[in-house]
Amino acid sequence: MSDSDIMEFDVVIVGAGPAGLAAAIRIKQLAQSTSTEVSVCVLEKGTAVGAHILSGAVIDPRALSELIPDWKERGAPLNTIAAEDKFVFLTEKSSYRLPTPPQMNNHGNYIVSVGALCRWLGEQAEALGVEIYPGFPAARLLWDQSGSEILGVATGDAGIGRDGSKTDNYQPGMEIRARQTIFAEGCRGSLTKKLFEQLSLRANCDPQTYGIGIKELWEVDSPLFQPGTVMHTIGWPLDSGTYGGSFLYHLDQNKIAVGFVIGLDYSNPYLSPFDEFQRFKSHPKIRPMFQGGRRIGYGARALSEGGYQSIPQLAFAGGVLVGDCAGLLNVPKIKGTHTAMKSGMLAAEAIVDHFSKNNSDRTVSDYPKRLASSWVWDELYLARNIRPSFRAGLFGGLMYSAVDTYVLRGRAPWTFHNHADHLQLDRREKHTPISYPKPDGEITFDKMSSVALSNTNHERNQPVHLKLRDPAIAIDVNLQNYDAPEQRYCPAGVYEIVRNSSTGEPTLLINAENCVHCKTCDIKDPTQNIDWAVPEPGGGPIYPDM
Amino acid sequence: MKILVCVKQIQDPEIAPGLFKVDEASNSVVAVPGIAQVISPYDEQAIEAALRIKEKTPEAKVVVITLGAASARDVLKHGLSMGADEAVLVEGPKNGSADGFVTASVLSEAIKKLAPFDLILTGRQSADLDAGVVACGLAELLGIPSVNFAKSVDVSDGNVVVDRVLDNGFEKIQVQLPALVTVSNEMGPARKPNLRETMKASRKPMQSWPQNDVNKDAGASQELIRLYVPIKEKHCEIIGGTSAGETAQMLVRKLRDGRLI
C-alpha cells in the first residue's frame, strides 16, 4: 500500500449502529462545546446507514434523551408509544396470559424501527460534521510493529475474484489511522473477534453466550391490529429445555414486527430456528393477526445474551469496545439499544477527555471506569442471573427469575456462570430429526422466499466470505456427528450438503451470496471452524426499516 | 475537454419484487420506506465510460447531471464518488413526473448553460421505465449527432469512436464532437466508488438549479393513462391419456385451444 492510501482521523468508528453513532455525536458535541477540533470517521458495511441493522424493537429512550434532549422536536422516528404489555405462555393449542415481569414493563418506551432510528442518528451526526462512509466495511485491523497496539483499520479490497486473483475492477482498500478506534460492530463483530484473540480481552470473563433473532415485517389488515401493543410469548413451539420466545410489536401504519429469538445454547442439532419461527406464526392465537396481510421484510441477527459476567476488557491500546460487540444487551429487559448508545456516549466522553489532557497513554482506561459507575452497569448487574438460570429449563428459569426479581432483587450473593454455546450441541444420536410442517405460502414461508425479502446481494465473483479453517471438518465432524447443523441454524440457507450424483460423496456447498450477516455460523459451529469475514464492499442485506 | 453524463435516480432494481408497489390513484411508484433509491445501472455505466476516457485524457472534466428530486443528490454523490469532477442537480420535474420530452427539454436547456461541452453520455435507457427516448430527444434538441448502444467509447482528435452493439454483431462509428452517445450494458461493470474519491466527493462542486430557472415552458406531450402491476396467474393442468401418443395429441389440442400454437 502506498502512502496515499492512508487517511488519518482523530477517531475512527467501526459500525454506524446506535452505539457508533451515539459515540460520534457525543464526540462532536463535546468538541463543539470546548471549541476544539476532533475529526471523526464512521465506517459502515451496509450500503446505507441502517441497511444492515435489525432489532425488535422496543427501545428505552433514556440514552437518547441524554444524548439529544430535544429529539422529539428534531423529528426522531419514535412514533409509537408502547401501550400494552402482554406476556403469554403458549401451548400447542392454547395460550395463557402471565403477569408481565417488571423488567418487561414498557411504560414510557417506544416501538421503533432501529433502521429508521439509525438513519436519523446518522443525519444528526453528519450535521455535526461526522464523516460517515456507508458501503465501506472495515476488513482488517492495523497493528503497530509489536502487535499489541491498534493503529486503526483498513477497508476491504474490491474486485478480488473468487479464486483470489485481482479482476479488472480491483480497487485496494484504504488504511484509516486514528488516535482511537471505537469498535461498534454489534454482536460478534469480526474485528472484535480478532481483538479478543490477539489481546486476550476475554481472559477474565465468562464466554459470551448468544441468541439468534429472526424477524419479519408485515403490513396487516386485521381488526386485531392495535398500535402500541407489545406481546412476548414463551413456550410452544420450543421444548422446555430450549431458551427462547417470540416478540410481536404493533407499529404505526398497520405494520407489525414479529420475530423469534432462540438461545444459541440449544442442544438438539436438528433444531431449526427458522422453522420454529414459521411454526410459531401458525399458532391459533397468532395466525389471525397476519391473515390477509403482506410480508414486507425478513432478516436475522445474532444478539449477545451473556450479560454482566461475559463483558470483556473494554479498553486497550488504541481502541475501545462499545455496544453489543462488548455484549451490553440487557436480556430480561430484551433491550440493548439504550445500553449500546450509553456506552458509546461514555466512550466518547472518556476519549475527548483523554485527548484534552494530552494523555500519551494509548489506552483510555477511564472509559470502563465511567461505564462501571453508570446506570448501564447497575442494570446489567441486577439482571445477571436471570438468563443463566434458564439452563435449568423454562420452568426452573421462570421460578428462579421470579425469586431473583421479587425477593432477591438481583442482589443474590452469587453469580451464575456462562458456558460457550458451540459446546452445547449434542451428537445426532441423542435426537431424532424434527419434522417441521410445510410452509403454506400465506403466513408461513420457506427459507428462499424469505431470504429474497432481505434484499441481500453479494458480488458473485469474490472469495467466499465464510471461511472454513479446515474444510474436511465440515464432513468429518459436522456431518458425521451432528448431521450438518449449519443447514438448519443458518436462517438464510447459506449452507447446503450436496451429494455427488454418482458416488454419493457429500460436500458442503456455501451459498455465500445468501448471507444476511447474522453471524450465527461463526458462533454455533461446534468446532468453531467457520470464520465470518466481511465480504467485498457493498455486500449484504438491504433491510427496509427493520 | 468536457464530458457531461446524464443520470437518473430509480427504485433499487435489486430489491425483492414483492416490495414493488404502485399507487394506482396517482399513477406512481410507491418508494419502499427505508430503502434508498439508486442510480440507474445503465447510467452508472455511462459514468464508467466517461471515467475511462478521463483515464486516457487526464485534462478531461466529467460533469454528472440529473433532473430529479432533492433525494437525487445521492446519485450525483455516487457519480462523484466513482471519480466524476462536478455535479448538477436540476430540481424537478415540476409536477412530480416528466415524460421523455419534458426530461429532454429541461436537460437540453441545462446543458446549454454548461456549454461548451464535447461529449454527452447517458445510459441506453432508464432501468425503470425502459423507454430510451430521452437521449435521442436531447441530441435532437441540442442539434448534435447521437450514437446509441455503445460497447466502448473512445475520443481522439475531435472525434468520438464508438463500438456499437447491433442485433447480430457490432459496428464501429466515428462521429465529430460535440456528440451524444448512449452506453449499453456491454460496456461491462461500472467501477465501485472508492473510499478516497468518496471522501473527496463532499468537497467537489455540486450545483442545484430549480427547474424554473432552466426551462419554464416544458409541458408533457404524453399522458400516462394507467400504471399498474400486472397480475400473474398460474394454472396447472395434468394432461391425461393412455399412451404417449395420445397424451401428445391432447396436449397439442390444448395448446391450440389456448391459441398458444
B2-30, pLDDT tens digit by residue?
Answer: 999 999 999 998 888 888 889 988 888 88
Q: What is the DSSP letter of A324?
A: G
Q: Is the pLDDT of residue A3 over 60?
A: no
CATH number at residue A345: 3.50.50.60
Q: Which of A51, A453, A537 sits opposite B18 (nearest CB)?
A: A453
- Say what the pLDDT of residue B211 is: 80
For chain A, the domain total comes to 3
Give the residue-averaged pLDDT of A311-316: 98
Is B199 in contact with A546 (Cβ distance < 8 A)?
Answer: no
- pLDDT tens figures, B129-173: 899 999 999 999 999 999 999 999 999 999 999 999 999 999 999
Among positive and negative, which fits the CA dihedral A150, A170, A47, A492? negative
Quick check: pTM over 0.90?
yes
Q: Is the pLDDT of residue B37 over 70?
A: yes
- Say what the pLDDT of residue A395 is: 86
- Say what the pLDDT of residue A122 is: 97
| Radius of gyration from C-alpha coordinates of chain B | 22
What mean pLDDT is reported for chain A?
Answer: 95
Give the residue-averaged pLDDT of A488-513: 96
- Say what the pLDDT of residue A491 is: 98
- Say what the pLDDT of residue B17 is: 85
Q: Which residues contact A99 (CB under 8 A, 6 or more apart)?
A: A87
- Say what the pLDDT of residue A5 is: 82
Q: How far is A294 from chain B (nearest CA, A)?
A: 9
User: Are A415 and A309 contacting, i.e. CB atoms less than 8 angstroms apart?
Assistant: yes
| Residues of chain A contacting residue B36, judged by C-beta atoms under 8 Å apart | 47-48, 51, 542
Residue in A319, A347, A358, A336 with CA at minimum distance from that of residue A187: A336
Element (H, E) at A384: none
Residue A264, helix vs strand vs coil = coil
Q: Which of B15, B192, B198 sits opposite A158 (nearest CB)?
A: B192
Q: Based on the fold, state whether residues A522 and A451 are members of the same structural domain.
A: yes
At residue A1 the predicted structure's pLDDT band, cuts being 50, 70 and 90, is very low
Q: Which of B14, B189, B202 sits opposite A169 (nearest CB)?
A: B189
CATH number at residue A472: 3.30.70.20
A50 found inside a domain:
yes
Is A457 in contact with B14 (Cβ distance < 8 A)?
Answer: yes
Give the residue-averaged pLDDT of A403-429: 90
ipTM: 0.86
Domain that holds residue A393: 386-415
Element (H, E) at B151: strand B146-156
A245 found inside a domain:
no
- Say what the pLDDT of residue A361 is: 95
Q: Based on the fold, state whether residues A140 and A57 are members of the same structural domain.
A: yes
Q: By CA distance, what is B81's nearest residue in A? A: A133
Q: Based on the fold, state whether residues A371 and A390 are members of the same structural domain.
A: no
Q: Based on the fold, state whether residues A36 and A140 are members of the same structural domain.
A: yes
Residue in A324, A274, A308, A333 with CA at minimum distance from that of residue A57: A333
Q: Which residues contact A180 (CB under 8 A, 6 or more apart)?
A: A10, A11, A12, A318, A319, A320, A351, A354, A364
Q: Which of B14, B32, B195 sits opposite A174 (nearest CB)?
A: B195
Q: Which of B12, B189, B198 sits opposite A133 (nearest CB)?
A: B198
Q: By CA distance, what is A546's nearest residue in B? A: B34
- Say what the pLDDT of residue A417 is: 92
Q: Is the pLDDT of residue B202 over 90?
A: no
Is B16 in contact with A453 (Cβ distance < 8 A)?
Answer: yes
A366 found inside a domain:
yes
Is A452 in contact with B16 (Cβ distance < 8 A)?
Answer: yes
User: Are A297 and A542 contacting, i.e. CB atoms less than 8 angstroms apart?
Assistant: no
- Say what the pLDDT of residue B215 is: 72
Q: Is the pLDDT of residue A406 over 80?
A: yes
Give the residue-averaged pLDDT of B211-231: 80
At residue B96 the predicted structure's pLDDT band, cuts being 50, 70 and 90, is low
State percent of chain A over pLDDT 70. 99
* Domain boundaries, given as residue ranges, for chain B: 2-214, 232-261
- pLDDT tens figures, A64-76: 999 999 999 999 9
What is the rounded distance in angstroms from the CA atom of residue A467 to the CA atom of residue A473?
A: 12
Q: By CA distance, what is A449's nearest residue in B? A: B16
At residue A199 the predicted structure's pLDDT band, cuts being 50, 70 and 90, is very high
What is the rounded distance in angstroms from the CA atom of residue A287 to the CA atom of residue A449?
A: 19
Q: Based on the fold, state whether residues A466 and A328 are members of the same structural domain.
A: no
A435 found inside a domain:
no
- Say what the pLDDT of residue B210 is: 87
Is A301 part of the annotated catalytic residue set? Answer: yes
Q: Based on the fold, state whether residues A460 and A514 are members of the same structural domain.
A: yes
At residue A262 the predicted structure's pLDDT band, cuts being 50, 70 and 90, is very high
Query: Which fold does the domain B2-214 belong to in CATH?
Result: Rossmann fold (3.40.50)
Q: Is the pLDDT of residue A4 over 70?
A: no
- pLDDT tens figures, A388-402: 999 888 888 888 888
A34 found inside a domain:
yes
Is A171 in contact with B198 (Cβ distance < 8 A)?
Answer: no
Give the residue-averaged pLDDT of B112-129: 94
Question: Phi and psi (nearest 5°) for A47?
Answer: -70, -15
Residues of chain A in Cβ contact (below 8 Å) with chain B: 4-5, 7, 47-48, 50-51, 113, 115-116, 119, 131, 133, 135-136, 155, 158-159, 168-169, 171, 173-174, 294-296, 452-455, 457, 537-538, 542-546
Is A363 part of the annotated catalytic residue set? Answer: no
Give the residue-averaged pLDDT of B32-46: 93
What is the rounded distance in angstroms from the CA atom of residue B142 to the CA atom of residue B4?
A: 13
Is A515 part of the annotated catalytic residue set? Answer: yes
| Residues of chain B contacting residue A7, judged by C-beta atoms under 8 Å apart | 195-196, 199
| Residues of chain A contacting residue B48, judged by C-beta atoms under 8 Å apart | none
Q: Does B30 touch chain A (CB under 8 A)?
A: no
Q: Which three cell numbers stand for residue A67?
A: 444524548
Q: Based on the fold, state whether residues A390 and A371 are members of the same structural domain.
A: no
Q: Which three cell numbers stand for residue A222?
A: 386485521
Q: How far is A475 from chain B (nearest CA, A)?
A: 34
- pLDDT tens figures, A10-21: 999 999 999 999
Residue A160, helix vs strand vs coil = strand
Q: Is the pLDDT of residue B218 over 80?
A: no
- pLDDT tens figures, A217-246: 999 998 999 999 999 999 999 999 999 999
| Residues of chain B contacting residue A546, judged by C-beta atoms under 8 Å apart | 34
Q: Does B13 touch chain A (CB under 8 A)?
A: no
- Say what the pLDDT of residue A394 is: 87
What is the rounded distance in angstroms from the CA atom of residue B49 to the CA atom of residue B188?
A: 9
- pLDDT tens figures, A108-146: 999 999 999 999 999 999 999 999 999 999 999 999 999
Q: How far is A522 from chain B (nearest CA, A)?
A: 27
Give the residue-averaged pLDDT of B85-97: 84
Q: Which residues contact A20 (CB under 8 A, 6 or more apart)?
A: A13, A14, A42, A44, A182, A184, A322, A323, A344
Is A457 in contact with B32 (Cβ distance < 8 A)?
Answer: no
